[in-house]
């Protein structure tokens, strides 16, 4: 059923009784052309674009839990593409182009809000770095500007630009197309669209093995039985490495806990997304009114999905540097997710040494913003067999060959990214 003000009205008059499920219940078939392991944003987006762009609908998406229940449900919803390295920028910028029309494409209001992303610099040197990024982005056709201190204070009323702050702000990079989107809606929107096009989505069905013959994957094993497939695509964030192990592969990445938190909801006080760079802190305000904040990872290996409160304190200290008045607010809830971070801090996408087995992982805490671009590109790859240019840099082989994509220049230390 199409979503619209008209259908909303009609259904309201009928007591809401005729709304269909957003994902059709399915009975598993013994075989699919493509099995996608992981019903998070990336996996579901891939499913949607397989059907929408390529007419490929003999696809099954499996998840060990509930739809979008991994990092898609836990992130801070920020969209931007201001990354230094061309490979990182290109994919994320393509995503921004897709985000702009995605609610309409999916007929699901994702609450896409291009309210502007402001990346603060704390020294002239840092400012110059941002200008480098901005110039690269402009050359590639993206809209980006630098803001001086006066312009920052106009965009962000109430921001503390005092020179007696610990790391005074010298200026900022500004990406107007950056912003936020409602994370849950993204998973639901892609799921609903894929399902409406005939793709099967099965929750609470874990994959516990792979059927590999002569170095080719021919199926997956689940508690609900064996399912054969021509292609298997694992897109399961930090669960990808253990799954890949089952297929005999080791992936060069580690799981690190990352936390985010919200304040109690208040009337609008912040209209853009602001990122503080002397020790990380990013903050935006949700449409419900909560301030949503996040910062650096917890800095050590973990899969516990809970972390140290010290990290919350560090992030908050920085939030209060830019918005001292936040001290009047209260922390309402904090949560964690597991960021899978590879050895150069950038994603691993594409083929594996096992024929027919593909992975998409290693997005760490930067994957949500790339969702539609990854889905689009992987759908193209799975449907046509040709690796799209946007995905080429993210190949697994790059660690052996030295073609690293390390945006922050940190090195093979996942817990520092």
Partner 1 sequence: MLLIPCPHCGERDESEFDYGGRALALPALDASGDEWHQALHLGNDSEDCVDEYWYHAGGCECWIRLRRSLSNHAFVEPGSSTGVID
Partner 2 sequence: MQSRRLENGGLIDRDARIYFTFNGRLLEGHGGDSLASALLANGVNPVARSIKYHRPRGILSAGLEEPNALVSLTLPNGVTVPNLKATELRLQNGMAAHSQNCWPSVKLDLGELLQVGSGLLSAGFYYKTFMWPPKAWHRVYEKLIRRIAGQGRIGTRPDPRSYDRRNAWCDLLVVGAGPAGLGAALAAADSGKSVLLLEQDALLGGSTLWDQQQIEGLPAARWRQLVLRSLATYQNVRIQCNTLAFGHYDHGRVMALESHADGVDAISWRIRCRRLLLACGASERPLVFPGNDRPGIMLAAAVRQYIHRYAVAPGRRAMLAIGDTQEREATRLALRKAGIEIAGELSDSEIISDTCGRRHLRRVICAGHKDGRRVIDCDLLCVSAGWNPNAQLAAQMGAELRFERGVNAQIPPARHGIAFSSGACRGVGSMEACSRDGELQARRALAELDGVVPDDTALPAIDTVAPAPGYHDGRAAAFVDLQNDVTRADLELAVREGYDHVELAKRYTTLGMGTDQGKTSWSNAILEISRITGNDAADTGHTTFRPPYSPVSLGALVGAERGARMTPMRRTPFQQVFEQAGCVFQTSGDWLYSRYFPLAGESMQDAIQREVLAVRNAVGCVDMSTLGKVEVRGRDALEFLQRLYCNNLDKLQPGKLRYALMLREDGILFDDGTVTQLGAKHYLVTMTTANATAVWRWMNKLLQLHWPGLDVQLTSVSDHWASLALAGPQARPLLQALEPDFDCAREAFPFASVRTGMLGQGIPCRVFSVSFSGELSYEINVPAGHAATLFTRVMEAGASYGIMPYGLEALDLLRIEKGHLSIGTEIDGRTTPADLGLARMVSSRKHFIGSSLLQRPRLQDDARLQLVGLRARDGHSAIPVAAQLCAQALQAGVEQPSLGRLTTAIDSPTLQQPIALALLQNGHQRLDEILWAVSPLAQQSTEVVVTAPCFVDPDGSRVHA
Instruction: Verify binding: residue 405, partner 1, rule CB under 8 A.
Output: no
d(CA 260, CA 59): 33
415 binds, among partner 2, partner 1, none (CB under 5 to 8 A by kind): partner 1
Instruction: Verify binding: residue 353, partner 1, rule CB under 8 A.
Output: no
Instruction: Verify binding: residue 148, partner 2, rule CB under 8 A.
Output: no
Instruction: Verify binding: residue 248, partner 2, rule CB under 8 A.
Output: no
223 binds, among partner 1, partner 2, none (CB under 5 to 8 A by kind): none
List of residues 6+ apart from 396 with CB closer than 8 A: 251, 252, 348, 350, 351, 352, 359
Q: What is the DSSP letter of 113?
A: B
12 binds, among partner 1, partner 2, none (CB under 5 to 8 A by kind): partner 2
- Closer to partner 2 by Cβ: residue 7 or 215: 7
Concatenating the DSSP letter of every residue in 200-262 gives EEESS----EEEEETTEEEEEEETTEEEEEEEEEE--GGGHHHHHHHTT---SEEEEEEEEEE
Per-residue contact track with partner 2, 97 to 126, x per CB under 8 A?
Answer: ---xx-xx--xxx-xxxxx------xx-x-
Interface with partner 2 (CB under 8 A), residue total: 112
Q: Which stretch binds partner 2 (CB under 8 A): 21-29, 42-50, 238-246, 381-389?
A: 21-29
d(CA 307, CA 257): 6
Closest residue by Cα to residue 290 from 270, 306, 276: 270
- Closer to partner 2 by Cβ: residue 15 or 55: 15
Closest residue by Cα to residue 305 from 93, 97, 12, 69: 69
Instruction: Verify binding: residue 296, partner 1, rule CB under 8 A.
Output: no
- Of 28, 308, 351, 355, which one interacts with partner 2 (CB under 8 A)? 308
Q: How far is CA 47 from CA 59, 159, 193, 235, in A?
A: 7, 42, 9, 11
Instruction: Verify binding: residue 208, partner 1, rule CB under 8 A.
Output: no
Q: What number of residues does the chain have?
A: 417
Q: Which stretch binds partner 2 (CB under 8 A): 32-40, 137-145, 209-217, 364-372?
A: 137-145
- Closer to partner 2 by Cβ: residue 122 or 231: 122
Burial (0-12, 13-18, 19+ Cβ within 10 Å), 325: exposed
Q: Under rule CB under 8 A, which residues in 385-404 are in contact with partner 1? A: 399-400
Q: Which stretch binds partner 1 (CB under 8 A): 52-60, 126-134, 178-186, 251-259?
A: 251-259
Q: What is the DSSP letter of 355?
A: B
In this structure, the dihedral spanned by the alpha carbons of residues 323, 329, 332 and 334, taken in order and rounded to 10 degrees, is 20
Q: Under rule CB under 8 A, which residues in 168-187 are in contact with partner 2? A: 168, 179, 184-185
Note the Cα 181 to chain centre separation in Å: 11
Q: Is 118 helix (H, G, I), strand (E, B) or coil?
A: strand
Q: How far is CA 223 from CA 37, 206, 326, in A?
A: 14, 7, 49
Per-residue contact track with partner 1, 253 to 282, x per CB under 8 A?
Answer: xxx---------------------------
301 binds, among partner 2, partner 1, none (CB under 5 to 8 A by kind): partner 1
Minimum distance from residue 325 beta carbon to partner 2 (Å) = 5
Per-residue contact track with partner 2, 328 to 367, x per CB under 8 A?
Answer: xxxxxxxx-------x------------------------
Q: Under rule CB under 8 A, which residues in 275-304 are in contact with partner 2? A: 279, 285, 287-289
28 binds, among partner 1, partner 2, none (CB under 5 to 8 A by kind): none
Instruction: Verify binding: residue 156, partner 1, rule CB under 8 A.
Output: no
- H helix or E strand, kind and range, residue 372: helix 371-384
Instruction: Verify binding: residue 325, partner 2, rule CB under 8 A.
Output: yes
- Of 29, 53, 54, 138, which one interacts with partner 2 (CB under 8 A)? 138
Per-residue contact track with partner 1, 305 to 334, x per CB under 8 A?
Answer: ---xxx------------------------
d(CA 234, CA 35): 8
Minimum distance from residue 299 beta carbon to partner 1 (Å) = 6
Task: Please give the sequence-ordered ranges of beta strands (E in DSSP) within 277-329, or none if there are none.
Answer: 281-285, 291-301
d(CA 77, CA 284): 9
Closest residue by Cα to residue 303 from 225, 239, 245, 352: 239
* Residue ranges that bind partner 1, judged by CB under 8 A: 241-242, 245, 250-255, 299-304, 308-310, 343, 399-400, 412-415
């Amino acid at each position: 059923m199409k979503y619209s003000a008209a259908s909303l009205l009609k259904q309201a008059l009928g007591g809401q009784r005729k709304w269909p499920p957003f994902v059709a219940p399915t009975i598993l078939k013994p075989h699919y052309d493509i099995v996608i392991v992981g019903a998070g944003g990336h996996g579901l987006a891939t499913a949607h674009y397989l059907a929408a762009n390529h007419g490929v609908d003999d696809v099954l998406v499996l998840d060990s839990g509930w739809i979008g229940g991994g990092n898609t449900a836990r992130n801070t919803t920020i969209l931007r593409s201001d990354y230094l390295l061309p490979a990182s920028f290109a994919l994320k910028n393509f995503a921004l182009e897709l985000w702009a029309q995605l609610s309409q494409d999916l007929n699901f209001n994702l609450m896409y809000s291009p309210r502007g992303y402001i990346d603060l610099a704390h020294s002239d040197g840092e400012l110059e770095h941002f200008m480098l990024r901005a110039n690269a982005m402009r050359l590639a056709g993206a809209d980006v500007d630098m803001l001086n201190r006066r312009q920052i204070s106009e965009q962000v009323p109430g921001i503390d630009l005092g020179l007696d702050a610990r790391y005074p702000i010298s200026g900022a990079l500004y990406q107007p197309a950056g912003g936020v989107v409602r994370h849950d809606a993204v998973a639901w929107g892609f799921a609903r669209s894929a399902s409406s096009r005939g793709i099967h989505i099965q929750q609470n069905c874990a994959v516990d093995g792979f059927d590999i013959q002569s170095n080719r994957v021919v199926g997956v094993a689940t508690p609900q039985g064996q399912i054969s497939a021509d292609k298997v695509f694992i897109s399961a964030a930090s669960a990808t490495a253990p799954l890949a192990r089952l297929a005999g592969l080791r992936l060069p990445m580690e799981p690190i806990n990352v936390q985010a938190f919200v304040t109690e909801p208040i009337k609008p006080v912040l209209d853009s997304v602001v990122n503080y760079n002397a020790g990380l802190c990013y903050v935006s305000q949700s449409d419900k009114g909560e301030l949503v904040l996040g910062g650096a990872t917890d800095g050590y290996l973990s899969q516990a999905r809970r972390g140290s409160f010290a990290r919350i304190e560090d992030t908050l200290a920085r939030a209060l540097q830019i918005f001292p008045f936040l001290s009047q607010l209260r922390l309402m809830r904090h949560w964690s997710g597991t960021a899978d971070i590879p050895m150069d801090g950038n994603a691993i996408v594409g083929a594996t040494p096992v024929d027919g087995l593909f992975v998409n992982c290693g997005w760490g805490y930067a994957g949500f913003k790339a969702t539609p671009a990854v889905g689009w590109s992987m759908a193209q790859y799975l449907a046509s067999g040709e690796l799209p240019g946007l995905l080429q840099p993210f190949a697994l082989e790059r660690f052996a060959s030295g073609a690293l994509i390390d945006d922050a220049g940190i090195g093979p230390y996942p817990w520092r990214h």
